[in-house]
Amino acid sequence: MNQITRTAAAEKVMVIGGVAYTMANCPVRDVLDNIGGKWNTLIIQGLADGPVRFSALRRMIPDISQRMLTQTLRDLQRDGYLKRTVFPTQPPSVEYELTDLGQSFLAIVLPVVAWSTDNHERIRAARKVYDEGVL
């Protein structure tokens, strides 16, 4: 079970699987932030089939701004989900590729995606009922 207690020093911690974490160093938060981020999972899935160049990712996800694509790629690289390779051509080209960790992450994300599509009818139905009841 998941519960939260106070330490002797009155510091608030979460206890997950018998181990205590503060909000700032909670491993679940680190991962959940990446799952919940607006573009993270889309990019991870875009890299599922192998290395992809920056411009190719932009074409796969036209909604994303250049700024957000760069920033999200940096975040994912920082956490070790993907590797960035610069080819010294003119003009430069850059490839992004999932690491082993990234592929492992993809493997746990895919079930979530599947569950989402499987259950979105129920969610939308519940939402509609709720919204009508509130009116």
Q: Which is nearer to a second copy, 62 or 91 (CB)?
A: 62
Residue 82 or 105 having the CB closest to DNA: 82
Q: Which residue in 5, 7, 25, 93 binds DNA (CB under 7 A)? A: 93
* Residue 37 DSSP symbol: S
85 binds DNA (CB under 7 A): no
Q: Is 96 helix (H, G, I), strand (E, B) or coil?
A: strand
Identify the helix (H) or strand (E) that includes residue 68.
helix 66-78
Identity of the residue, 59 or 90, whose beta carbon is nearer to a second copy in the bound complex: 59
Residue 69 CB partners (closer than 8 Å, separation 6+)? 39, 43, 54, 57, 58, 61
Is residue 47 within 8 Å of 82, Cβ to Cβ? yes
Which residues would be at the binding site for a second copy (CB under 8 A)? 1-6, 12, 14, 16-17, 19, 23, 27-28, 30-33, 35-37, 41-42, 45-46, 48-49, 60-63, 77-80, 101, 104-105, 108, 111-113, 115-117, 119-120, 122-127, 130-131
Give yes or no for residue 78 binding DNA (CB under 7 A).
no
Residue 44 CB-half CA count within 13 A? 27
